[in-house]
Chains A and B, each alone.
Chain A
Amino acid sequence: MTHSTALRSIVRRTEVTWGLVAAAVAAVLPLIYPSTFLLNVGPQILVMGVFAMSLNLMLGYTGMVSFGHAAYFGMGAYTLGILMQKTAVGLAASLVLAVAGAALLALVIGFFCVRLGTIYFSMLTLAFAQIVYTVVIRATPLTGGDQGLIGGIPVPPVRLGPWTVALRSPLAFYELTLSLTVAAFLLAKVLVDSRWGLLLRAVRDNGDRVEFLGASARGLRLSAFVAAGGFAGLAGALMALYVGGAYPDFVYWTKSAEPIFMVLIGGMHTLLGPLVGAAVLVGLTAVITQYTSLWGLVLGAILVAFTLFLKVGLLDFGAERWRSRAAAAPGNPPVGGVARAREAK
C-alpha cells in the first residue's frame, strides 16, 4: 500500500469542509428534487457509508483487515430491532444501546483477535462473525431465526420542539440518517485527528515501534476494534430502521465484504473515501439492477477496472492529483516528498 503523508495533510484540512458541503447539498437535494429513487437509495448509501467508514478505522487507519465486520453491524441491527419490537425502549435509547451493544461485542471478540496479526487476525474475525451468525440463526425466540425480525419495527413519531416528525416518511428518515451520518463522520474525524488517531497510524506502520513510546500496540488495536464496532452498530441500527427489521443476512460473511469493497473504491486514507465508495457501489447497484439481472457481472467488471487501472481509491486518487498540481504551482514549496517516501520504501 502506497501511503502519502502530503496527501493526507491536504485532505485533512479540507475533509471536514468538503464533508459538510456535501451534507448540505444532500440535505437540500430532496427538497428541491423529491425523487423516490433518491429517498430510497440515499439512506442506503448513508448507512453503508457509515458501515464502510467504521471499517476504515481498522483497515485504513490501523492496518487491520477484518473479514467479520458484519457481526457488529448485525449486533446493532438486532439490538435496535429487538428493543423497539419487544420492549418500550424509545428510539434514541435504542440507538445508543445498539451502538453500546456492538461496541461491547467488539470488545469481547477484539480481545482475542488483536492478539494475532495479518491473515490470522482476519481469519479469526471471520470465524467469530460466523459464530455470531450461527447464534442469530439458532436463537429463534429472540432473533426470529432464519426469518429474522419480521413484522416491522414500530417507530413512534419524534418530537423536535414544536414539530412532530413521522419517521415513516421517507424524507424524514432520509434527513435523520443524514444527520446521524454527519454526526458519526465528525466524531470519527475528531478521533482520527487526535493523538489516538496518530498512534493508530503508527501502529499500522509498525506496532513494535509504538511500544517504545510507552503505548500498548495491542491496546490501541483493541480500542480501534471497539470504536469501529460501535460505528458499525450505528450503521446496523439505522439499516434495521430503514428496512423495518433485522435479518441473518446482516451478519453473514458476505455482508463483511461490502464495506471492504467500498473502502477500496472510495479510498482508505480518509473518512470520506468510504462514504464515496458506498455512494458508488450502492448507487451503481441500484441503477444497474434496473437494466440487467447480470448486475453482479457489471459490478465485478467495474471493481476489476478500479483495481487494475486506478490502483487507489477515488478520493485518494483525486487528492494526489490535487497535491501534484499544488506542488507544481510556481512559488509553492514542496509539501511532503511523497516520491522520496516511496523510494525510501
Chain B
Amino acid sequence: MTRGGGPLLELAGVDAFYGRAQALFDVSLTLRRGEIVVLLGRNGAGKSTTFKSVAGLVTVRGAVRLRDRDVAGLAAHRVARLGVGYVPEDRQIFPHLTVAENLDIAVKPGPDGGVHWTRERLEEIFPILAPLRRRAGGALSGGEQQLVTIARTLMGNPDVLLLDEPSEGLAPAIVKALAGLVERLRDEGVSILLSEQNVRFALRVADRAYIIDSGHIRYEGTVDTLRGEPEIMKRYLAV
C-alpha cells in the first residue's frame, strides 16, 4: 500500500562524508506523509549514514528537503526543531533520568505548533511505560529502552520519525511487539523512515522499501513488489 501526498522528506543526490571518506553516493529517496518507508541493507551498507544525513550529523552534499525546505548542513538541534525525530540505533536513553523524566525532557510542540503526543497518550499506546515511570533509564531492558526512546522522540511531536534499526538486539517476542507498535503509529498518521536488517520485520510494517548497498541505492519499490524479487533480496540482503 502506498500512501498519498507530496514528499514530506526528500533526499536528492545526497553524498555524505566522514572527514574525507565518502560514505553515500548520490542517494535519493522520498517519504510521503503518513507513509512508512524502510531502508534495507547489510551492515555497513550506509543505512545509518543516510539517517545521519537527515539528522544533521554528517557532512553532506546534495539536497535534504523537509516539507520543501532544504535542511542539509543544519545543526542537529535545528533539524530536530523543524520536525525530525531521530531514534538512533544505540537507543540513546538518558540512563540517569527516570522514564518519566526521559519523556518530560522532550516535550515540545511540533513544527506546526500542534501537540499531538502527550505522556498520557503515549502511556495509552505504550502500556509498558506507566509502571516504569520512576525507573531509572539505565535500569531498563534493551526492549524497554527502545520503547522509551521512541516514546521520548514522539513527545517532541515530530513530522518525521527516523527509526534506525529499532529491532536490533531485541528478543523475537519484543520485535513482534515493536512491529505492532510501529503499525499503531502508522495508524496514528506518523510518517516513518525505518532502517532494518530484519527483513521480515521491515516487510511487515513498511509501505515502500529502498535497498542500499555500499552507499548506493540499488532498489526502490513497494514491499509487495520486493517480495516478488527473490534475486534482489538474495543479492543485497542475503535472504
A residues near B (Cβ < 8 Å) are: 3-6, 8-9, 195, 198-199, 201-202, 204-206, 208-217, 335-342, 344-345
Contacts of B108 in A (CB 8 A): 213-214
**Are B97 and A212 touching (Cβ within 8 A)?**
no
- Closest B residue to A1 by beta carbon equals B96
Contacts of A339 in B (CB 8 A): 139
**Are A5 and B92 touching (Cβ within 8 A)?**
no
Q: Could you tell me the distance between the alpha carbons of A9 and B105 in the complex, rounded to whole angstroms?
A: 16
Known A212-B55, A336-B134, A341-B136; contact A195-B107, beta-carbon cutoff 8 A? yes
**Are B95 and A209 touching (Cβ within 8 A)?**
no
Known A212-B92, A338-B136; contact A9-B98, beta-carbon cutoff 8 A? yes
A-B contact pairs, 13 of them (CB 8 A): A5-B135, A5-B137, A6-B134, A195-B104, A198-B101, A206-B92, A206-B94, A209-B92, A213-B108, A214-B156, A340-B136, A341-B139, A342-B138
**Are B138 and A341 touching (Cβ within 8 A)?**
yes
**Are B94 and A336 touching (Cβ within 8 A)?**
no
**Are B139 and A336 touching (Cβ within 8 A)?**
yes
Known A205-B96, A212-B92, A214-B77; contact A198-B139, beta-carbon cutoff 8 A? no
**Are A201 and B94 touching (Cβ within 8 A)?**
yes
Q: Could you tell me the distance between the alpha carbons of A4 and B95 in the complex, rounded to whole angstroms?
A: 10
**Are A213 and B136 touching (Cβ within 8 A)?**
no
Known A3-B96, A5-B98, A205-B96; contact A212-B136, beta-carbon cutoff 8 A? no
Q: Is B75 interfacial (CB-CB < 8 Å)? A: yes
Q: Which among A212, A213, A341 has the highest number of chain B CB atoms within 10 Å?
A: A212
How many chain B residues have a CB neighbour from A under 8 Å?
31
Contacts of B85 in A (CB 8 A): 212
**Are B76 and A198 touching (Cβ within 8 A)?**
no
Q: How far is the CB of B59 from chain A (nearest CB, A)?
A: 16
Contacts of A208 in B (CB 8 A): 76, 92
**Are B86 and A345 touching (Cβ within 8 A)?**
no
Q: Could you tell me the distance between the alpha carbons of A216 and B75 in the complex, rounded to whole angstroms?
A: 9
Q: How far is the CB of B55 from chain A (nearest CB, A)?
A: 7
B105-122 to A contact mask, C-beta < 8 Å, 1/0: 111100000000000000
**Are B105 and A198 touching (Cβ within 8 A)?**
yes
**Are A202 and B105 touching (Cβ within 8 A)?**
yes
Q: Is B88 interfacial (CB-CB < 8 Å)? A: yes
Contacts of A336 in B (CB 8 A): 98, 134-136, 139
**Are B76 and A205 touching (Cβ within 8 A)?**
no
**Are A344 and B138 touching (Cβ within 8 A)?**
yes
- Closest B residue to A215 by beta carbon equals B77
- Closest A residue to B158 by beta carbon equals A214
16 more contacts with CB within 8 A, not counting A5-B138, A213-B77, are: A4-B136, A201-B94, A202-B97, A208-B76, A208-B92, A210-B77, A211-B75, A213-B152, A214-B81, A336-B98, A336-B134, A336-B136, A340-B136, A341-B137, A344-B95, A344-B138
Contacts of A338 in B (CB 8 A): 136, 139
Contacts of B75 in A (CB 8 A): 211, 216
Known A211-B77, A212-B92; contact A198-B97, beta-carbon cutoff 8 A? yes
Q: Which among B88, B105, B136, B138 has the highest number of chain A CB atoms within 10 Å?
A: B136
Known A199-B105, A338-B139; contact A211-B98, beta-carbon cutoff 8 A? no
Q: Could you tell me the distance between the alpha carbons of A8 and B96 in the complex, rounded to whole angstroms?
A: 9
Q: Could you tell me the distance between the alpha carbons of A78 and B50 in the complex, rounded to whole angstroms?
A: 54
Q: Which among A5, A8, A199 has the highest number of chain B CB atoms within 10 Å?
A: A5
- Closest B residue to A220 by beta carbon equals B77
Known A199-B105, A212-B88, A345-B95; contact A340-B138, beta-carbon cutoff 8 A? yes
Contacts of B77 in A (CB 8 A): 210-217
- Closest B residue to A8 by beta carbon equals B96
**Are A5 and B105 touching (Cβ within 8 A)?**
no
